[in-house]
Amino acid sequence: LYLIVSNIITVGTADALAFFLPGVVSRFAKALYVSKNMISGAAGSSVAIEQAICGLTEFLIIVLDDKANLHSLDMPVNDIGSLAPMENNSTQSVLEALRSLPLNGHVQSANMIGDSFNQAINDDHKRKIVDHSNGERTLFVHRSKEWIDETSSNVDKLMSAAFPHLCIHPAEKVRKALVDGIQGLLLNCRCTLKRSKLMLLECLCVLVCDDADVVSMVAQESLESLFVLGEKFITKNEIADIFTSLIKALPRVVLGSDKTIALSHAQKLLSLVYYAGPDLLVNYLQSPVSTDVHNFLFPENVLFIFCSVLGPSYLCF
């Protein structure tokens, strides 16, 4: 992983790295997947997980940067440029923050997942083109709209399987690398990775409650700057969809056996209400459809269990 991250930093251009995206992301996917089930050894090392997060997010920021893929997006450059909430959070500054994370250590390769992703980007996308100065260019991928769509779909599956679990990882350095990476992805790849936008926002809603200030402050700044953009970044319907899905999952999560996940879910829900504003909760409770769903999900016996078994530290209705 150290060598992969070092090469990413050295090359640093979308044209040069896009061809290798399936294989590189596959390697990082294996490391992140195994970290969910192994807490010791090389695969469970916090340094290894930190490197995998850093390498994955930096690679995606370079290859799938919105401005580097304007020819494949339906948005004009002015629309993409207007979405930058903070001038000092440029692509370069985000990459520098990721590169400043320690990169010493080695990680044992895990072959449990990732091979399918390596094959998911069809070989038809990989082709030679003619460069008038140097002749034929090899190891080049045409980043067409179809390639962007297929790649973003596979990347979303990878991140959705790993990132929510990493939000509650016991190592502070892992959570710090994650929040920096999410900030960079939302800032620079919100069009190319639009499928992952809501999931990344949910992760920030957990990290903003982190015990470590170095993690929570970055998440707080990101959420504040993103919600300032309003409809340019996220619509009211998208926020409502997140809120509804969190409410629906609440009984299953809170009554489950893992209290850490239950607490994370409650933090996610409350953070969303805080940053989206009280109207979100009011509109949900006043909706006849939402009321019926709420009554179905939270009958009186379930509410009693919430309050009597889990205590006041959890969300009770």
Main-chain phi, psi angles of 129, to 5 degrees:
-130, 165
Locate 285 and state its tokens: 């409770």
**Contact predicate 141/147, CB 8 Å:** yes
Domain boundaries, the chain: 2-234, 237-317
User: What does the alpha-carbon distance between residue 208 and residue 221 come to, in Å, rounded to a whole number?
Assistant: 9
Q: Which residues pair with 136 in a beta bridge?
A: 130
Cα angle value 180/181/187 (rounded, 5°): 90
Q: Cα 221–29–143 angle (5° rounding)?
A: 80
- The string of DSSP codes covering 101-134 is S---S------SS-HHHHHHS-GGGB--EEETTT
DSSP code string of 285-296: HH-HHHHHHHHH
- Nearest Cα residue to 247 out of 178, 179, 302: 302
Show pLDDT as tens, one digit a residue, over the chain (317 residues): 566 666 666 666 777 788 888 888 888 887 887 766 555 444 458 888 998 899 899 999 999 999 988 887 766 555 555 455 544 445 555 555 555 555 443 333 334 444 555 554 444 444 444 444 454 556 678 888 999 999 999 999 989 989 999 999 999 999 999 999 999 999 999 899 999 999 999 999 999 999 999 999 999 999 998 888 888 888 888 888 898 899 888 888 888 888 888 999 999 999 999 998 888 778 777 776 555 555 555 555 554 444 544 444 444 44
